[in-house]
Amino acid sequence: MIPVILAGGSGTRFWPLSRRDEPKQLLSILGDHSSMIEETILRLGPMTTKERPVFVVCRPDLVEPTLDVLKTDAKLEFIEEPVARNTGPAIALATAHLEALYGDEPVAFFPADHFIAGQKGFEQCLTLAAHRATEGAIVTLGIPPSRPETGYGYIECTRELTGGSAPEAHPVEAFIEKPDAPLALEYLKAGRYLWNSGIFIFCPSTLWAELRRQQPELSEKFDAIRNCFTTDPTSPTIGELFTEVASISIDYAVMEGAERVEVIPALFRWSDVGHWGALHEVIDTDDRENIVAADALVDECDRCVLFSRGSSRLIAASGLQDLIIVDTPDALLVLPRERAQRVKELVALLRDKDRLDLL
């Protein structure tokens, strides 16, 4: 199985720490001094050899910054996206590239910026996933929900999940977009819904068959791209063809309509760490549930995030509840934890105001 990391993050939701040139996957926000992409690479290490490295799909301009943040001698190779076309084309491009190198070996796609704990269970799930993929399934890892989360997509299974200690693959009934709160609660109670982790495993031939069936236009373009990869993998035609492709997510292009999708409930802890408010899921707090990653004077505060980077400024916080404070040399962010998702809009507002210096 060939591991591929999707590193297409745009760096908005962890602003002001994340920037266009330094998106979330390049940051170390979990207090472990490694970037999230490095954590992801290390996690996939057992699956790699010198001849079969980890592949990273990203914007050309992020290759150098990514290499700069890596502290270990990771075995990795980059697949550059000529232009941004969402996850569907990005995954197809990588699949075409890897098919030319390794034939119809299963490929596994992983987001670059998620939190995972429980390496053994993670590897067990992937071993089963590779096995199911070689038998023709598109396999995804699903996260047993622990709360009625409205920020994730859900995967519906055909029957209730019992949750054993060994990995199991289940047929998928449907992929479901982010639900509203009552629906999320229903999903939580029903016991046959999982969070969509964004991890996918399949054989190239399976993807091409589904593209042919579901996305004939995309399929045609990628037949041409695959042809280039077998004849001249450095041909500029690849980039030209890719540029002509429409933007579409892998969920929408393939997963939702695929004939044979299976999900393996995760045997590991997971968070997409999607925003500042999610840090509490993955970082230890002080005894009043504050996360303090700053030179700080914390006076009667509860459940706050005090985060400083690139600045030695003291943060004096007094009597605050559920507040996020992120201090960087050129921008300071203050907002309630429940509004953490709003950061994306703030970045959009800054773009509208032409504050490109801060993006």
Chain contacts with a second copy (rule: CB under 8 A): 16, 297, 299, 312-320, 323, 325, 327-336, 339, 342-343, 345-346, 349-350, 353, 355, 358
Please say which residue, 133 or 306, places its beta carbon nearer to a second copy.
306
CA distances from 325 to 21, 129, 245 (A): 22, 40, 40
Query: 255 or 294: whose CB is closer to a second copy?
Result: 294
Return the amino acid letter for 317.
A
Q: Which is nearer to a second copy, 287 or 357 (CB)?
A: 357
Three-state SS at 253: helix
Minimum gap (Å) between residue 359 Cβ and a second copy: 11
> What Cα–Cα distance (Å) separates residue 89 from each residue in 160, 206, 231, 239, 248?
33, 15, 20, 12, 7
- Kindly state the smallest distance separating residue 338's Cβ from a second copy, in Å: 8
Q: Return the number of the residue (125 or 323) whose C-beta is nearest a second copy.
A: 323
For tokens 């031939």, the residue is 205
Least spacing, CB of residue 308 vs a second copy, in Å: 9
Q: Which is nearer to a second copy, 219 or 328 (CB)?
A: 328
Task: Report which residue type is found at 153.
Answer: G
For residue 328, the minimal CB distance to a second copy (Å) is: 8
Residue 350 CB, shortest distance to a second copy, in Å, is 6
Contacts of 262 (CB under 8 A, 6+ apart): 132, 137, 138, 139, 140, 169, 170, 171, 172
